[in-house]
A and B are shown apart, each in its own frame.
Chain A
Amino acid sequence: MTDIADSPAAALDAQRFSELRLNGISRAYGAHTALHPLDLTIRGGEFIALLGPSGCGKTTALNSIAGLLPLTAGSIELDGRRIDTLPPEKRGFGMVFQNYALFPHLTVRRNVAFGLRMRKVPKAELERRVHAVLELVRLTEHAHKLPGQLSGGQQQRVAIARAIVLEPPLVLMDEPLSNLDAALRLDMRAEIRRIHQEFGLTTLYVTHDQEEALSLADRLVVLNAGHVAQVGTPAELYESPRSAYVAAFMGYRNILTLTATRVGTDVATVVGEGVKLVGTVAGPVTEDADVQVAIRPEDLKIAAEGAEAAFEAVAEVVEYHGREFQVDALTRSGKRVHLRTPERVAPGDQLALTVDPRRALVFPMEGEPT
C-alpha cells in the first residue's frame, strides 16, 4: 500500500466539506414533476443512499446535483456557497455512471488520468496519483488495455478509479452495480465499502436494491414517485419504517389491507377476511378505517398447538433454504402471504399463523402521491 503521508486520504481533509445542503431541489417537465422539492443536508464523509424503484426520481436527483440536469426550483449550497448555477465541469464532483461511460478510445490509464489532465495537474503528480488509484482498485497490470478488452467488473473498477482519483468533495454513483451478475455484485459492494472506509469520500449512491443500500449507507433516503418517503439510518428504516411503502422496501413483504376495529395509543386490533390480529400503531390510524399492516416473513410464525391463530392459510409453494423454509401461502380469501419457518412444511398443508403484536406494524392507507 502507499505511504500514509502520500496517500490520497491525507490530502483529502483539505478537500472535505462540512455540509452540502439541498434546499427544496425540484425538477419538473411541463406538467409532470419528476422530483418534488427535496430537502437534505449531507455531512462531509457521509455515505447516503437514494433508494426507490425505477421512476421514483432518484436518478433525476443525482443528475441535478451533478449539474447534468438543471433544477426547475430550489438551490444547492456547498458550505454556504451556491453551486447549482455552475455547469458540471465546474462543480468538481466525481460521478460513476450506470453503464460506466468509459472512453472507449483511451487506455485504462488515460481514462483514469482524464480528469487530472483537464485540470492541468503536473505530469509527475498525475502519474503518481493514477498509479496509486490503479493499485487501490487492483488494475495495475491492465493499465495499458482498452475498455473493450476488460470484463464487466474490471470496467466498473476503472469507472470508480476515474471518479475518485480527483479526490472530489462528493462522489455520485448511479446504480453502478446493476449491470453485474450476483456474485460480482457482492464483491464490488465490498470494494466500494472498503474504498469509502479508506478515503472517507462523501458519497451519494443511487440504487433500487434495499440490501445494497442497507449494507453501504450511513443514511438512506427512500423516494416514491418524486417524493421523499423517509430519511434515516439503516437501523431506523429497518426497525421503524414510517409508511407501508417504506416498509415494503425494507423487507416487510407482507402488506395486508385490513380494517382497524379498536385503536389505542400503542396497539390496534385489525380484522378483515378471516384475519384478526393485534399490531403496533406506526402512523396516524383511526378506528373503522382501512389500514395496511406490514409483517416481515420471519415474524409470521406457525402457531403452536392449541394457541390462538391470527389467521389460517394453505401452503402453496415451499422453497428449501437449508436452515429454514420459505413458504408462500394463500389465505382463505385468496391473499398471498410469505413466511419463513424452520418447521418442515409441505405444499397443501393447512397452516395456523400468528404474529407478535410488536412485529406487526399498522399504517394508515396510503393514497397515491401526486
Chain B
Amino acid sequence: MEARALRMRPGTWLVWALVVFFMVNVLGVIGSVVLDSFGRTWFNGWAPQGYTSSNYSQAWDEFDLGQVMTVTFQVTLLVVAISLALGVPASYALARRDFPGKRLVMLLFVLPILVPPIAYGIPLATMLYKVHLAGSFTGVVAANLVPSVPFVVYTMTPFIEQIDPRLEQAARMCGAPTRSVLGRIIAPLLLPGMLAAGILVLVRTFGMFELTFLTAGPTSQTLVVSLFSAATSAGIRSSQNIDAMAVIYTGSMLVLLVIALRFVNPTQLVARSRD
C-alpha cells in the first residue's frame, strides 16, 4: 500500500490539483479584500493604483468601529460565560445519569444546533420585539445563547464521560462532601474541556451572523453585522473602507483562530453533532 502512495497516480494528481485550485481561489477571495483595503483606488488591473493605510482610520471613524468592537467583545465574552455556566452543569448531569426522558433532553439540546439560525431566528426576533427586547444588547446575548448552550453540552458531555466516575466515588469514600468533590476533584479535570468549549463558542459567536443580524439594534451590532450592513447599504461609501473593515474582522478572527487551535483540533471547530 505504501509503495503505491510513492508513485503518484493520475487520480492522486487530480485530487491534489483540485485541492490546490480550491486553496488558490480562497486565497484570491481573501487576498482581493486585503489588497483592496490598502489601496488608494482600484478600478481595473491586477493591483491598486497606489497604497495607503488611510482606509483603516477612515473606516474606524466612519463605522464607529471602536464602539462596534467593544460591543462585539462584550457580547461574545458574555455569551461564553453564560453558556458555560448553563451548559457545564447540564452536561455533568447528562454524562453521569441515565434517566427516563434523557433522550428527550438530548433532542432538545441538539435541535438548536441542527436547525439553521434563520429558521428559528425569525420567530425569536418576533418574540423579542413583542417583549421589547429587540434591538437591545440583552436581546443579542439571549439570541446567541441558543446555539451556544447546546454546543457546550455536546462538547462537554463526552469529555465528562471519559472521566472515570470512580474518582468521585473514591473521593467520597475518603470522606469528601459533595462541594469538595465538585470543587477539588471534578472542576480541575473539567478545565481543559471547558477551555476548549469556551474557545469554540467564542469563535462561533464572533462570526455568527444571522442571529445577531435579526436581533440587533444600531448600537448592539457585532462586527460581522456592521460589515454586512455597510456592504449592502446604498450610498456612496467607498468600498475600500468596507474592505478595511473586512480585514479588521478577518484579522481578529484569525487571531482567535490561532489561539483556539492551540487548544482544540481543526475538526472540532466545525463538527456539529452527527448521528
Which A residues fall within an 8 A CB radius of B? Answer: 68-70, 87-88
Contacts and interface: CB of A to CB of B under 8 A. Distances in A.
B1 to A, nearest CB: 6
B3 interface: yes
Interface string B1-32: 11110000000000000000000000000000
6 contacts: A69-B2, A70-B2, A70-B3, A87-B1, A87-B4, A88-B1
Nearest to B2: A70
A283 B1 CA distance: 42
B30 to A, nearest CB: 38
A87 B5 CA distance: 12
Contacts of A70: 2-3
A30 B231 CA distance: 55
Interface majority SS (helix, strand, loop, mixed), chain A? loop
A237 B226 CA distance: 80
A60 to B, nearest CB: 13
Chain B CB count within 10 A is highest, among A68, A69, A70, A87, for A70
Nearest to B3: A70
Contacts of A88: 1
- Interface size range on B against A: under 10
A87 B1 CA distance: 7
Contacts of A87: 1, 3-4
Given A70-B3, A88-B1, 6 more contacts: A68-B1, A69-B2, A70-B2, A87-B1, A87-B3, A87-B4
A287 B176 CA distance: 65
A188 to B, nearest CB: 29
Contacts of A69: 2
Nearest to A71: B3
Contacts of B4: 87
A105 to B, nearest CB: 16
A65 B251 CA distance: 53
A80 B4 CA distance: 24
Contacts of B1: 68, 87-88
A95 to B, nearest CB: 13
A181 to B, nearest CB: 24
Contacts of B2: 69-70
A322 B2 CA distance: 53
A69 B1 CA distance: 7
A340 to B, nearest CB: 39
A87 B2 CA distance: 10
Nearest to A85: B3
Contacts of B3: 70, 87
Q: Which 5 A-B pairs have the closest CB atoms?
A: A70-B3, A70-B2, A68-B1, A69-B2, A87-B4
A346 to B, nearest CB: 36
B2 to A, nearest CB: 6
B275 to A, nearest CB: 16
A70 B3 CA distance: 6
B103 to A, nearest CB: 22
Nearest to B1: A68
A28 to B, nearest CB: 13
Nearest to A68: B1
B4 to A, nearest CB: 7
Nearest to B6: A70
A218 B4 CA distance: 35
A88 B3 CA distance: 11
A68 B4 CA distance: 11
B8 to A, nearest CB: 16
A70 B4 CA distance: 10
A350 B1 CA distance: 61
A192 to B, nearest CB: 27
A87 B4 CA distance: 9
B152 to A, nearest CB: 33
A230 B186 CA distance: 53
A86 to B, nearest CB: 10
B244 to A, nearest CB: 49
A69 B2 CA distance: 7
**Interface-central residue, B1, B2, B4, by most chain A CB under 10 Å:** B1
A275 to B, nearest CB: 46
A87 to B, nearest CB: 7
A88 B2 CA distance: 11
A87 B3 CA distance: 8
A134 B3 CA distance: 35
Nearest to B5: A70
A5 to B, nearest CB: 39
B32 to A, nearest CB: 43
B12 to A, nearest CB: 16
B15 to A, nearest CB: 20
Nearest to A70: B3
A366 B2 CA distance: 36
A68 B1 CA distance: 6
A209 to B, nearest CB: 29
A181 B125 CA distance: 61
A158 to B, nearest CB: 24
A102 B2 CA distance: 22
A69 B4 CA distance: 11
A69 to B, nearest CB: 7
A82 to B, nearest CB: 14
A174 to B, nearest CB: 16
